[in-house]
Amino acid sequence: MTWSELEEALVVCRLCPRLVEWRERVAREKRASFRDQEYWGRPVPGFGDRDARLLVVGLAPAAHGANRTGRMFTGDRSGDWLFRALYRAGFANQPVSVARDDGLELRDCYVTAVVKCAPPGNRPTARELDTCRRWLDTELDLLTRVRVVVALGGVAFDRLLRLRRWEVPSPRPRFGHGREVILPGGPTVLASYHPSQQNTFTGRLTEGMLDSIFERARRLLQA
């Protein structure tokens, strides 16, 4: 696939009935604070620099974030944290991401997720994760220069190591914030807690902790 072919096929995907029903119901019913906005309500493509050496992989679009705006990590609190960190590390031209036309540009960085549709309760099933794997695989086929992958959360970390496109150390590494896994013949994977409100409100993830992940990514790219 080309990039345009990938996006055209992705945004009309209806392979997971539960996710299709949920994303479209959320887009119809809306949150009261966004009632005057038109929701995207479709699978959300990744975005960023297509020659990127850094890939950031999250879990899935937020129901009233990317499922509303049509851009990954855009319009929600998780995205606020992520793009501030990318900006501080020099991977973004601005620290905010509120809409597809807000002027945000990623530099040497591409952002996506292991599931492209908003799941109920932010919890995709194992079958949905397996079904959606084709899209991440295709993105990786096209992102030929990736050297470092930041996995936001345990599910993204686990799914990256299950792609069967790289040799994975045995036993399979366990998720942990700051865990670093070198994949022979592939990129280095850095694990981070996901910048969800569950983690940021409780202090499990601080901005300093997230900054340290992208500072490490920058050092690896400079090596």
In tens, the pLDDT along 37-47 reads 999 999 999 99
Boundaries of every domain in the chain: 3-222
Give the pLDDT score at 189: 98
Rounded to whole angstroms, the Cα distance separating 82 from 165 reads: 27
Identify the pLDDT of residue 175. 98
Q: What is the per-residue pLDDT for 223?
A: 86
pLDDT of residue 202: 97
Beta strand 180-182 with 47-48 is unpaired
- pLDDT of 65 reads 98
Burial string for 190-203 (b: 16+ CB within 10 Å, else e) reads: bbbbbbbeebbeee
Neighbours of 179 (CB within 10 A): 14
* 10-36: average pLDDT: 98
The answer to whether residue 188 scores a pLDDT higher than 90 is: yes
Identify the CA nearest to 73 among candidates 88, 85, 60: 60
Per-residue pLDDT averaged across 15-30, rounded?
A: 98
Angle between helices 77-88 and 207-222 (to 10 degrees): 40
pLDDT digits (tens, 9 = 90+) for 198-207: 999 999 999 9
Q: Was domain 3-222 assigned CATH 2.40.10.480?
A: no
Per-residue pLDDT tens digits for 51-84: 999 999 999 999 999 999 999 999 999 999 999 9
| Residue 140 CB-density burial (10 A; 0-12 exposed, 13-18 middle, 19+ buried) | buried
The mean pLDDT value for 136-140 works out to: 98
Residues forming beta bridges with residue 191, ordered by sequence position: 151
The confidence score (pLDDT) of residue 164 equals 86
Q: How far apart are CA 37 and CA 54, in angstroms?
A: 32
pLDDT for 141: 97
Convert the pLDDT of each residue in 112-135 to its tens digit. Answer: 999 999 999 999 999 999 999 999
